């Protein structure tokens, strides 16, 4: 009879371990999904600010239409890639990086327009976009931290046994593209 109790106790402990491990994996997976959603919120905010920026800049920059067209195209491409459920994280990342680069070029061009730089509306939009870019970077760092924790959890023993049985897959990290890895050259 004692052997039956020992076997039942071992089975109960094993079942509790499996339940606790599964719940921990689900909790970590949901944190990764939530942090990815946080990135989407900030990207949506950026998408909403760009048309206002373009309208503010349009009146001042009659000779720079090409820059505005590129910005609008980059925004559209990033939004459609973000909404595409089959797009990979790398494709989404590349579209967002292209939009960021286009925004940087717009702000560089505005240096030639002192009246635009003095515009209160432009300055407010520029500050909001800068703040949004910082929030996007923070959200990406938070996402990468959650991805790291989840990926470690599904790779270490003995949790990896349950993760493999239940087909939990690794998440990809957000990474800098090749252009962002280059050294900046300062010429004086």
**Which pTM was predicted?**
0.74
Give the integer Cα–Cα distance in Å for 110 and 12.
68
Please list, in sequence order, all residues whose beta carbon lies within 8 angstroms of the beta carbon of residue 91, skipping any fewer than 6 positions away: 81, 84
Close Cβ partners of 143 (under 8 Å, ≥ 6 residues apart):
32, 35, 36, 38, 39, 174
Question: Which sequence spans correspond to the domains of the chain?
Answer: 2-173
Q: Are 171 and 150 in contact (CB under 8 A)?
A: yes
CATH fold label, 2-173: de novo design (two linked rop proteins) (1.20.1440)
Token output for 78: 């990033």
> pLDDT tens digits for 27-83?
999 999 999 999 989 989 888 888 888 877 776 666 567 777 888 888 888 898 888
SS3 174: coil
User: What does each C-alpha distance from 38 to 12, 83, 109, 123, 124 come to in angstroms?
Assistant: 39, 15, 31, 26, 23
| pLDDT tens, position by position, 82-123 | 888 888 888 888 888 888 888 888 887 777 777 776 677 778
Answer yes or no: are the C-beta atoms of 117 and 123 closer than 8 Å: yes
Asked if residue 7 has pLDDT above 60, the reply is: yes
């Amino acid at each position: 009879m004692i052997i039956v109790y020992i076997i039942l106790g071992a089975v109960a402990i094993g079942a509790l371990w499996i339940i606790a491990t599964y719940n921990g994996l689900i909790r970590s997976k949901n944190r990764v999904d939530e942090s990815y959603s946080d990135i989407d919120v900030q990207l949506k905010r950026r998408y909403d600010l760009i048309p206002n920026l373009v309208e503010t800049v349009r009146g001042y920059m009659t000779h720079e239409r090409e820059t505005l067209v590129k910005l609008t195209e980059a925004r559209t491409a990033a939004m459609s890639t973000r909404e595409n459920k089959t797009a990979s994280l790398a494709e989404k990342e590349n579209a967002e990086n292209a939009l960021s680069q286009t925004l940087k070029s717009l702000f560089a061009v505005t240096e030639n327009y002192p009246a635009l730089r003095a515009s209160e509306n432009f300055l407010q939009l520029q500050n909001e976009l800068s703040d949004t870019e910082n929030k996007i970077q923070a959200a990406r760092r938070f996402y990468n931290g959650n991805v790291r924790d989840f990926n470690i959890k599904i790779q270490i023993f003995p949790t990896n046994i349950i993760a493999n049985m239940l087909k939990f897959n690794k998440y990809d990290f957000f990474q800098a593209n090749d252009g962002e890895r280059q050294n900046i050259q300062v010429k004086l």
